[in-house]
Amino acid sequence: MTRYASYLTPAGAPTWGAEKDGTLFDLGPSGLGVAPTLRDAIVSDALSSTPSTANAPAQAVDGTRFLPVVGEAAKVICIGVNYKTHQAETGRADAGHPTVFTRFTDTLWPHGADVRIPPESAMYDYEGELALVIGRPAHRVPRAAAWDHVAGYAAFNDFSARDWQRHTGQWTPGKNFPESGTFGPYYVTAADLGDVDELVLETRVNGEVRQHAGVADLIFDIPAIIEYVSTFTPLAPGDVIVTGTPGGVGLFREPPEFLAPGDIVEVEITGLGVLRNRLVA
């Protein structure tokens, strides 16, 4: 399995490359020039066969400053209340259609970077999620054809200002504070990752497991999500859909436990690595 990352070179230039055994091999503009960005590589289908890393500039993963793994998406669509365990803790009734909200691209933030808790929020929370990246134009895609439009996957943390999320019935303000959508560290193609129903998602806060679920537990599975979302908005290669979070968020713990400066949140998904961020004031 080849894992891809977006990151900065030692000289501070943005690039992307393949990770192997703790080393990053530069396939971007400062390296082999396969494509300017990882998103461009997805759009051009440059990852349909694994690019060679021979003669690529290399650097250790340790000490590397990462970038949001696919940070230039035109659309980031998020699905809410999409695991039975999360639905149960919220007390929401069954829904006939996915709950959808949007996230602005400028909220995306990298693995390893500190996340600032907004001073306007006293209820800052985590949501570990699986994100998928669209690989082919998708408009009114039937369920049976949905998998053909998935390019690959990465881990996502949908940090949420719950107080702002609850101001009205619209969730957009609580889901779009700066630095609130951490994304990465690695992207894996759908062909390499295999059956997503076999993936396990786990979120930890300061080492304590808060969320643990199989992706097979999604209420609306990935084909259903793509069919629904692509009906109301055309999706382009490089667009991102964040598929929902399991039960165990801080808001519904007894008593509620929100994030504080110094907390370290990790989201780990089978094959996709560990997305880690520290919270700061």
Domain-by-domain residue ranges, the chain? 3-60, 76-280
What confidence score (pLDDT) does residue 249 get? 98
* Paired residues of 14 in beta bridges: 8
Q: What's 72's DSSP letter?
A: T
CATH class for the region spanning 76-280? alpha beta
pTM (whole model) above 0.85: yes
Segment (H or E) for 162: helix 162-165
What confidence score (pLDDT) does residue 93 get? 87
Read off the pLDDT of residues 240-277 as tens digits, 9 standing for 90 and up.
999 999 999 999 999 999 999 999 999 999 999 999 99
Instruction: Please list, in sequence order, all residues whose beta carbon lies within 8 angstroms of the beta carbon of residue 82, skipping any fewer than 6 positions away.
Output: 98, 99, 218, 219, 220, 243, 244, 245
Read off the pLDDT of residues 136-176 as tens digits, 9 standing for 90 and up.
999 999 999 999 999 999 999 999 999 999 999 999 999 99
Q: How confident is the model at residue 92 (pLDDT cuts 50, 70, 90)?
A: confident
Tokens of 181: 């959508």
Mean pLDDT of 205-232: 98
Using H for helix, E for strand and C for coil, what is the string for 126-137? Answer: CCEEEEEEECCC
Residue whose entry in the numeric block shows the structure tokens 């059956």 = 195
Read off the pLDDT of residues 171-196 as tens digits, 9 standing for 90 and up.
999 999 999 999 999 999 999 999 99
